[in-house]
């Protein structure tokens, strides 16, 4: 992204200081962000397998069966993951 925007521009848009920006980049993704990415991928897989016929409740039920729901996410939060 640095090829399109300067660090200053990205910090200004995100509300981060320069040190905060570099700290965030060095730290990498949080465990929660990695779990969310995995959950989003699984939601997409389930939806594709159902050929787009599953609603959020059915997908939620599958996630509960697989133990993904135990991570403390609400049903609405899982819907949000599936939208992106």
Per-residue pLDDT of the chain (84 residues; tens, 9 = 90+): 557 888 888 888 888 899 988 888 888 778 888 888 888 888 888 888 888 777 778 888 888 888 876 555 555 555 565 554
74: burial class by Cβ within 10 Å (0-12, 13-18, 19+)?
exposed
Query: pTM for this one?
Result: 0.52
- The residue ranges of every structural domain in the chain are 31-83
Q: Which two tokens stand for residue 61?
A: 């039920």
């Amino acid at each position: 992204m640095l090829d399109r925007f300067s660090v200053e521009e990205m910090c200004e848009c995100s509300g981060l200081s320069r040190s905060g920006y570099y700290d965030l980049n060095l730290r990498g993704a949080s465990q929660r962000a990695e779990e969310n990415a995995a959950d989003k991928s699984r939601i997409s897989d389930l939806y594709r397998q159902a050929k787009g016929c599953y609603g959020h409740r059915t997908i939620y039920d599958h996630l509960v069966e697989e133990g993904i729901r135990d991570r403390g996410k609400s049903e609405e939060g899982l819907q949000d993951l599936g939208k992106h």
